């Protein structure tokens, strides 16, 4: 008898194939079940395991109502601000995420945002799609040279360090802020700033790589943005909740910031359309991890966690441990 699995949103073909082969699986083709639909199908299918993503929040009330036969809820993604981990612990429900496997692609995407924001990619693209036809002079539409500019990394975890490795290749000095200073082998020459405010003041490009969730809402607030150098750049591939968007819109509109590159927003997918009206913002719809290889690897890693728990072991990427 195969174990019983619910997959709460569409996954890549390779992940779906492994789910079908290893489980009695119910696979949703949609964008992510809401709590009511999830509770219904997990119960009627008598699921042992759940595979889900950030579009299916596991809030306290939902966790409390999940049936006892569900042994693990494995999330596809490294961020877990959509999961009430404390509630999962209370109900002894194993929950897991998928760290490591997306570091390289999210770091690549961060460089894409840095380059696109500094080099005015959105404006150039728009000119081409409108037919170009007008000559530009040597001082028209100038961007910022990336090499030699200091990159400030907020959150020097695995993704932050992968960004730093790439930025070194672009000739960018690196500063970072973490609560605690890293050992030298992890710093690789990057300078530590004791506060986010100090980092904001000293860098030319600020890249946000902090986890979302309680205590991190709007840590890049109006005061932090004001401390950034005039003409500097902000990029965010982490979570929209980390940034005060109203203050960011004002800083971009006034020209205090030269540009921003944004992959994440508050209230996704219904992001604040005022960003789309600004020429100095490069926008993406939360695609940092979106490559075939990485999305496959994320799904496989989530299934590895499910396999472990159903075999009586601890999930390798457990979000709480007894
Ligand atoms: C995912 C992400 O696309 O890993 C994360 O935290 O934000 C993205 O890589 C998303 O979470 C999929 O559920």
pLDDT of residue 63: 98
- Pocket mutation for ligand 1, best pick of 78, 266, 295 (most atoms within 8 Å of C-beta): 78
pLDDT of residue 208: 98
* Strand 191-192 versus strand 174-177 pairing type: parallel
- CA atoms within a 13 Å half-sphere pointing along the CA-CB vector of 79: 26
Residue 123 pLDDT class (50, 70, 90 cuts):
very high
pLDDT of residue 41: 97
For the Cβ of 77 lying below 6 angstroms from any atom of ligand 1, the answer is: yes
pLDDT of residue 32: 86
Question: For ligand 1, atom 6, which residue shows the shortest CA distance?
Answer: 79
For the Cβ of 240 lying below 6 angstroms from any atom of ligand 1, the answer is: no
Please tell me whether the overall predicted TM-score, pTM, comes out greater than 0.85 for this model.
yes
- Pocket mutation for ligand 1, best pick of 159, 298, 301, 317 (most atoms within 8 Å of C-beta): 298
- CA atoms within a 13 Å half-sphere pointing along the CA-CB vector of 221: 7
Tell me the mean pLDDT in the region 100-123.
Answer: 98
In ligand 1, the atom with minimum distance to the C-alpha of 239 is: 7
DSSP 126-182: HHHHTT--S---TTSS-----TTPPEEEE--SHHHHHHHHHHHHTT--EEEE-SSPP
Residues 6+ apart with CB under 8 A from 147: 170, 171, 172
- If you ran DSSP here, which 8-state letter would residue 314 be given? P
CA distance 296 to 247: 37
For the Cβ of 78 lying below 6 angstroms from any atom of ligand 1, the answer is: yes
- If you ran DSSP here, which 8-state letter would residue 42 be given? H
pLDDT of residue 97: 98
Would you say 176 and 160 are in contact if contact means Cβ atoms under 8 Å apart? Answer: yes
pLDDT of residue 115: 98
For the Cβ of 88 lying below 6 angstroms from any atom of ligand 1, the answer is: no
Q: What are the tokens at 115? A: 């380059």
Would you say 72 and 50 are in contact if contact means Cβ atoms under 8 Å apart? Answer: yes
Q: Which of 297, 254, 299 is nearest to 278 (CA)?
A: 254
Residue 99: pLDDT above 90?
Answer: yes
CA distance 291 to 249: 29
Residue 108: pLDDT above 90?
Answer: yes
Q: How many residues does the chain have?
A: 322
Q: Which of 16, 110, 95 is nearest to 63 (CA)?
A: 95
CATH class, range 103-283:
alpha beta
Question: For ligand 1, atom 4, which residue shows the shortest CA distance?
Answer: 77
- Pocket mutation for ligand 1, best pick of 33, 240, 289 (most atoms within 8 Å of C-beta): 289
18 in helix, strand or coil?
Answer: helix
In ligand 1, the atom with minimum distance to the C-alpha of 288 is: 9
Integer CA distances (angstroms), 138 to 112, 141, 305, in order: 25, 9, 56
CA distance 230 to 164: 23
Cis peptide before 269 (omega within 30 of 0): yes
- Which sequence positions are flagged as catalytic? 239, 268, 286
Question: For ligand 1, atom 11, which residue shows the shortest CA distance?
Answer: 77
Residue 312: pLDDT above 90?
Answer: yes
Q: Distance between the two ends of the chain, CA-based, in angstroms?
A: 29
Tell me the mean pLDDT in the region 146-167.
Answer: 98
Domain with CATH 3.40.50.720 in the chain: 4-101+292-310, 103-283
Question: For ligand 1, atom 10, which residue shows the shortest CA distance?
Answer: 77
- CA atoms within a 13 Å half-sphere pointing along the CA-CB vector of 181: 9
The per-type count for the chain, helices as H runs and strands as E runs, is 12, 12
Q: What is the dihedral of CA 17, 22, 28, 34, to 10 degrees?
A: -140
How far away, in angstroms, is 77 Cα from ligand 1 center? 4
pLDDT of residue 298: 98
Please state which architecture CATH assigns to domain 4-101+292-310: 3-Layer(aba) Sandwich (3.40)
How far away, in angstroms, is 97 Cα from ligand 1 center? 10
């Amino acid at each position: 008898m195969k174990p019983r699995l619910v997959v709460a949103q569409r996954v890549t073909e390779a992940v779906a194939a492994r789910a079908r082969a290893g489980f009695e699986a119910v696979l949703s083709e949609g964008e992510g079940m809401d709590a009511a639909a999830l509770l219904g199908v997990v119960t009627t299918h008598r699921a042992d395991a759940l595979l889900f993503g950030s579009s299916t929040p596991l809030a306290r009330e939902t966790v409390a109502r999940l049936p006892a036969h569900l042994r693990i809820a494995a999330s596809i993604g490294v961020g877990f601000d959509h999961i009430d981990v404390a509630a999962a612990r209370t109900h002894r429900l194993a929950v897991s995420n998928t760290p490591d496997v997306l570091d390289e692609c999210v770091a690549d995407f961060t460089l894409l945002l840095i380059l696109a924001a500094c080099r005015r990619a959105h404006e150039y693209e728009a000119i081409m799609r409108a037919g170009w036809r007008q000559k530009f002079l040597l001082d028209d539409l100038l961007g910022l040279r990336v090499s030699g500019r200091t990159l400030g990394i907020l959150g020097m975890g695995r993704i932050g360090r992968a960004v730093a490795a790439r930025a070194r290749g672009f000739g960018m000095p690196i500063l970072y802020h973490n609560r605690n200073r890293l050992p030298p082998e992890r710093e690789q020459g990057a300078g530590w700033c004791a506060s986010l405010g100090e980092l904001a003041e000293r860098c030319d490009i600020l890249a946000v790589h902090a986890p979302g969730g309680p205590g991190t809402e709007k840590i890049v607030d109006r005061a932090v943005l004001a401390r950034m150098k005039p003409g500097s750049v902000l990029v965010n591939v982490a979570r929209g909740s980390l940034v005060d968007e109203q203050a960011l819109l004002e800083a971009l509109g006034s020209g205090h910031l030269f540009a921003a590159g944004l992959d994440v927003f508050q209230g996704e997918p219904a992001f604040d359309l005022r960003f789309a009206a600004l020429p100095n913002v490069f926008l993406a719809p939360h695609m940092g991890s979106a490559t075939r290889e990485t999305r496959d690897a994320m799904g496989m890693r989530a299934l590895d966690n499910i396999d472990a728990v159903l075999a009586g072991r601890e999930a390798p990427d457990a979000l709480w441990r007894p």
